[in-house]
């Protein structure tokens, strides 16, 4: 089955009877963007909770939100009853915010059948479709197996090695004032500014009312960066909102793409890496 990276509420509502469909709720309770969920205590009926704050991250790394290893990802997905052939639709309760991170994690772990729900829980609820209060559920163990795609992730040393590479374009999804260093970072003891040569692409530019812009509008945005066939590296504060513009690029650009998982939470550590500010 071919699955688009982004599916509509209409598509999901018409495909609820797919036998191997799994709906994942990737909502988080806290976010540095100060966003507030419209429906904080609801989930799509039958959804399973993909817990990125307590489960799906590297617990041995001081940098927040880092990708867990393949073994941990496999074990936790199996607990959710996810199988090798599961068709996964992931959403969150902020429109499109944390769900692209979960989407990217599955892609990076080698699972091709995954999509983000455009508009998330709010769009589903406003369409009058079935929701429920979350309940703890135990699932039959799945047979999911992660197959880590290392080329989809870059680290700080790879960024350093490519700062002057004309065939690499680094896109930073943080807001303009954080990017140019005119406001302090929300996390303590972080430098203000951006990586040398990086371009600012605030994640909010690809969204409108909690949904992704049309492909024509997205294509125009990416064209403005003269990306051509360059490798695109996406970064942000801690690897969450970078995945929003990464998802947008997946809809309109064939460039090779990767995520700098450590993002500014690693790069912005005082005096550790080169920083530019306007």
Say yes or no: 142 and 180 in one domain: no
pLDDT tens digits, 161-220: 999 999 999 999 999 999 999 999 988 889 999 999 999 999 999 999 999 999 999 999
pLDDT at 238 (0 to 100): 95
Instruction: Answer whether residue 23 shows pLDDT above 90.
Output: yes
SS3 for 27-91, per residue? CCCCCCCCCCCCCCCCEECCCEECCCCCCCCCCCCCCCCCCCCHHHHHHHHHHCCCCCCCEEEEE
Instruction: Answer whether residue 34 shows pLDDT above 80.
Output: no
257: three-class secondary structure by DSSP: strand
Contacts of 215 (CB under 8 A, 6+ apart): 251, 252
When comparing pLDDT for 37 and 234, which is higher?
A: 234
pLDDT band at 42 (very low <50, low <70, confident <90, very high): very high
The answer to whether position 276 is within a domain reads no
Say yes or no: 139 and 161 in one domain: no
Instruction: Answer whether residue 225 shows pLDDT above 90.
Output: yes
Say yes or no: 252 and 126 in one domain: no
pLDDT tens digits, 132-147: 999 889 999 999 999 9
Distances (CA, A) of 266 to 35, 157, 193, 199: 23, 11, 13, 18
The answer to whether position 273 is within a domain reads no
Say yes or no: 220 and 209 in one domain: yes
Boundary (domain end) residue, out of 113, 148, 183: 148
Say how far apart CA 82 and CA 102 lie, in whole Å.
14
pLDDT tens digits, 246-257: 999 999 999 999
Choose the catalytic residue: 77, 131, 236, 243.
Answer: 236
Instruction: Answer whether residue 235 shows pLDDT above 80.
Output: yes
Say yes or no: 45 and 123 in one domain: yes
Instruction: Answer whether residue 271 shows pLDDT above 80.
Output: yes
Instruction: Answer whether residue 1 shows pLDDT above 80.
Output: no
Say yes or no: 212 and 249 in one domain: yes
Cβ density class 58-95: b for 16+ within 10 Å, e for less: eeeeebbbbbbebebbbebbbebbbbeebbbbbbbbbb
Task: Note down the domain range covering 177.
Answer: 151-267
Contacts of 270 (CB under 8 A, 6+ apart): 189, 190, 191
Say yes or no: 120 and 167 in one domain: no
pLDDT tens digits, 113-122: 999 999 999 9
pLDDT at 108 (0 to 100): 98
Active site residue 236: yes
Residue 237's CATH number: 3.40.250.10
């Amino acid at each position: 089955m071919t699955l688009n990276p982004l599916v509509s509420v209409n598509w999901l509502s018409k495909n609820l009877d797919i036998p191997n469909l799994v709906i994942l709720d990737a909502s988080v309770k806290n976010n540095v963007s100060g966003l507030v969920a419209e429906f904080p205590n609801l989930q799509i009926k039958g959804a399973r909770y993909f817990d990125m704050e307590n489960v799906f991250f590297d617990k041995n790394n001081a940098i927040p939100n880092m990708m867990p290893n393949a073994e941990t990802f496999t074990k936790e997905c199996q607990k959710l009853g996810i199988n090798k052939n599961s068709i996964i639709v992931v959403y969150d309760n902020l429109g499109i915010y944390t769900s692209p991170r979960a989407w990217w994690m599955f892609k990076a772990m080698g699972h091709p059948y995954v999509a983000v729900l455009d508009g998330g829980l709010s769009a589903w609820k406003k369409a009058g479709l079935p929701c429920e209060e979350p309940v703890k559920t135990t699932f039959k163990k799945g047979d999911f197996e992660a197959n880590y795609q290392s080329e989809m992730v870059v680290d700080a040393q790879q960024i350093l090695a490519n700062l002057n590479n004309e065939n690499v374009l680094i896109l930073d999804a943080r807001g303009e004032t954080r990017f140019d260093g005119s406001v302090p970072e929300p996390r303590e003891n972080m430098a203000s500014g951006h990586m040398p040569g990086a371009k600012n692409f605030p994640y909010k530019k690809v969204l409108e009312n909690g949904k992704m812009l049309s492909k024509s509008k997205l294509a125009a945005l990416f064209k403005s960066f003269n990306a051509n066939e360059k490798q695109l590296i996406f970064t942000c504060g801690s690897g969450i909102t970078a995945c929003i513009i990464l998802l947008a690029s997946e809809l309109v650009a064939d460039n090779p793409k990767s995520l700098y998982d450590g993002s500014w939470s690693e790069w912005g550590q005082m005096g550790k890496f080169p920083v530019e500010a306007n």
